[in-house]
C-alpha cells in the first residue's frame, strides 16, 4: 500500500494572486520518480482532524524538480493554508505519485497532441506539455486554456517561454470568460459549441492523435462530446478530474459509551437512500445481517482486505475484528469494514451512502 513520506518545501511562490507553486524535496527521492501528469496526495491535521488533498505535479520530467501548483478554493482548509501559511523550509507529508493521466512517450514518434485545461486544471497538463515536447522532438502540442480573466491565468509567462523555446511545435489558445479579446471566438466558455468552432478553423482535429482534458465537470463533458463527435474514440481521450468537491471536512463521530449487546441489536442500515431497521445478533456481521435481510450491500472479499464493504457508523458502536484496508483517519471518521464489524451496543446506525 502507498504510504506517506516527508518532503521539505524548498521554494514557494505565487503564480497568480490566489495560487502558489510549491517546490518539494523528498527525503526519499526514489519514491517520487513521477510520470508526467501524475498527482501527489498530501495530508495534514487541522484542529485534530486529518485532511487529505490531491494536487497535480506541474514540473516536467526533465526539470529535475518536484513541483505542484495549489490554487486556493473558497473554504478549502488545505489550499488556504498552503496559500497563506506554508513557507520555505516547512516539512509536509505526501504519498508517492499516483494517477494515469499520461501516455507513454516515444522519442521517434511524430504525434499531434491537443490539451484542454480549465483554471488550475493546467497543472498536470503543463507537466505533460513540457515532458512531451522535450522527449518527443517531432511531436506538436496545442493547448486550449480556459480562464476567467487575464489575471487568473496560472503559468502564463511559463507558457509563453515554452512557446519560444519550442518554436513552431507548441501553440496556446487562451479562452477568457469575461475579458473581451480581439477575436470573438476566444471569449466565453469552452463548451461543446466553442470546440466545434475551434475545430472548424483553428485546430485540425483530424490530425490529433490524443487529447488531454483537465478542468471542471461541465467543461470536461462538453469537450469530450465535441471530440467524440469529431471522430476521436475513448482511447484517444485522457481525463483528469479533480472536482471542486474533494470531500469536505468530515464531521466527528458522536462518541458514546460502549457496552456489550446482550440480546438482539436493532440496526438501522442505509443503502441507496433507503433505510431499513433490522434486528441482528452479536455474532452476525453488519454485512451478513444486511445480506440476510435482502439488502444488496456491497462486498467482495469478506476478509477485511479489499474495503468494498466500507460503511460509516453514524450512531452506536461496533467492533471491527480485522482491518487490512482502512486507514486510521478513515476509522476515526467512523468508517468500518462491514464484513468484519459486529454490533456492541443495543442500537447501531450505519450508512453505505457516505
Partner 1 sequence: MSDMKIEDYLAQGGKLSNPSNVPARYRAELMRLMATFVDSELAGAAGFADVINAGPGIKERIAAAKIVLEKTDNADKVLTIMGDFGANTAKYATHHPWTDRLARDADIGTARNDADMRLAVFNYPLEGWADAVVMNLLMGLAVGVQLDEFARVSYAPLADAFRAIAPVEARHAELATEGLERLDDAPLQASVDYWWPRVAASFGKDISTRASQLQAFGLRHSTNAELREEWEATAAQALENLGLNAPKG
Gap between the Cα atoms of 121 and 68, Å rounded = 12
Q: Minimal distance in Å, beta carbon 99 to partner 1?
A: 6
Gap between the Cα atoms of 76 and 9, Å rounded = 20
Rank residues 54 and 197 by Cβ distance to partner 1 and give the closer one: 54
Q: Minimal distance in Å, beta carbon 132 to partner 1?
A: 18
Rank residues 145 and 352 by Cβ distance to partner 1 and give the closer one: 352
Per-residue string for binding with partner 1, 91-130, x by CB under 8 A? Answer: -------xxxx-----------------x-----------
Choose which of 307, 333, 340, 341 interacts with partner 1 (CB under 8 A): 307
Rank residues 52 and 130 by Cβ distance to partner 1 and give the closer one: 52
Task: Write out the DSSP string of 56-95.
Answer: EB-S-GGG--EEEEEE--TT-HHHHHHHHT--TT-EEEEE
Rank residues 88 and 217 by Cβ distance to partner 1 and give the closer one: 217
Which of these, 8, 66, 5, lies nearest to 38 by C-alpha position? 66
Choose which of 145, 155, 242, 342 interacts with partner 1 (CB under 8 A): 242
Choose which of 106, 160, 234, 319 interacts with partner 1 (CB under 8 A): 234
DSSP state of 262: -
The answer to whether 10 touches 22, Cβ cutoff 8 Å, is no
Which of these, 17, 21, 19, lies nearest to 9 by C-alpha position? 21
- For residues 258-277, which are near partner 1 according to CB under 8 A? 272
Does the footprint of partner 1 cover residue 284 (CB under 8 A)?
A: no
Rank residues 130 and 312 by Cβ distance to partner 1 and give the closer one: 312
Q: CA 80, 81, 82 angle in degrees (round to 5)?
A: 90
The answer to whether 144 touches 194, Cβ cutoff 8 Å, is no
Provide the 3-class DSSP secondary structure of residue 265: strand
Q: For residue 206, give the C-alpha cell.
A: 483530424
Per-residue string for binding with partner 1, 1-40, x by CB under 8 A? Answer: xx------------------------------------x-
Rank residues 33 and 234 by Cβ distance to partner 1 and give the closer one: 234
Per-residue string for binding with partner 1, 144-183, x by CB under 8 A? Answer: ----------------------------------------
Helix locations, 67-216, DSSP H: 77-84, 122-135, 156-165, 192-201
Stretch that binds partner 1, among 24-32, 86-94, 156-164, 319-327 (CB under 8 A): 319-327
Which of these, 297, 255, 257, 262, lies nearest to 276 by C-alpha position? 297
Gap between the Cα atoms of 35 and 187, Å rounded = 33
Choose which of 220, 232, 269, 286 interacts with partner 1 (CB under 8 A): 220
Query: What are the residues binding partner 1 (CB under 8 A)?
Result: 1-2, 39, 41, 52-54, 73, 98-101, 119, 216-221, 224-225, 234-235, 238-247, 272, 296, 298-303, 305-310, 312, 324-327, 330, 352-354
Amino acid at each position: 500500500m502507498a504510504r506517506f513520506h516527508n518532503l521539505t518545501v524548498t521554494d514557494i511562490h505565487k503564480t497568480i494572486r490566489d495560487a502558489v507553486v510549491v517546490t518539494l524535496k523528498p527525503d526519499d527521492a526514489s519514491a517520487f520518480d513521477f510520470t508526467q501528469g501524475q498527482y501527489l496526495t498530501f495530508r495534514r491535521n487541522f484542529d485534530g482532524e486529518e485532511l487529505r488533498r490531491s494536487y497535480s505535479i506541474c514540473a516536467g520530467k526533465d526539470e529535475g524538480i518536484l513541483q505542484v501548483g495549489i490554487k486556493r478554493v473558497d473554504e478549502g482548509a488545505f489550499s488556504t493554508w498552503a496559500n497563506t501559511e506554508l513557507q520555505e523550509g516547512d516539512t509536509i507529508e505526501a504519498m508517492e505519485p499516483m494517477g494515469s493521466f499520461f501516455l507513454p512517450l516515444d522519442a521517434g514518434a511524430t504525434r499531434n497532441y491537443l490539451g484542454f485545461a480549465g483554471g488550475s486544471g493546467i497543472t498536470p497538463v503543463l507537466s505533460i506539455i513540457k515532458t512531451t515536447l522535450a522527449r518527443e522532438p517531432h511531436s506538436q502540442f496545442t493547448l486550449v486554456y480556459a480562464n476567467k480573466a487575464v489575471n487568473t491565468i496560472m503559468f502564463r509567462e511559463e507558457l509563453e517561454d515554452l512557446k519560444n523555446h519550442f518554436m513552431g511545435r507548441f501553440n496556446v489558445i487562451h479562452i477568457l470568460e469575461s475579458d473581451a479579446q480581439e477575436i470573438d471566438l476566444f471569449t466565453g466558455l469552452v463548451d461543446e459549441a466553442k470546440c466545434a468552432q475551434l475545430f472548424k478553423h483553428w485546430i485540425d482535429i483530424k490530425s490529433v492523435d490524443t487529447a488531454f482534458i483537465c478542468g471542471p465537470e461541465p467543461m470536461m463533458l462538453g469537450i469530450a462530446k465535441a471530440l467524440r463527435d469529431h471522430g476521436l474514440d475513448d482511447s484517444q481521450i485522457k481525463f483528469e478530474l479533480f472536482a471542486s468537491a474533494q470531500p469536505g471536512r468530515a464531521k466527528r463521530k458522536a462518541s458514546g459509551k460502549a457496552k456489550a449487546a446482550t440480546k438482539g441489536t436493532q440496526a438501522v442500515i442505509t443503502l441507496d437512500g433507503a433505510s431499513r431497521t433490522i434486528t441482528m445478533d452479536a455474532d452476525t456481521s453488519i454485512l451478513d445481517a444486511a445480506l440476510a435481510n435482502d439488502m444488496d450491500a456491497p462486498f467482495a472479499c469478506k476478509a477485511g482486505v479489499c474495503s468494498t464493504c466500507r460503511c460509516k457508523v453514524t450512531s452506536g458502536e461496533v467492533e471491527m475484528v480485522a482491518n487490512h484496508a482502512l486507514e486510521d483517519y478513515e476509522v476515526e471518521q467512523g468508517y468500518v469494514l462491514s464484513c468484519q464489524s459486529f454490533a456492541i451496543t443495543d442500537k447501531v446506525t450505519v450508512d453505505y451512502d457516505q
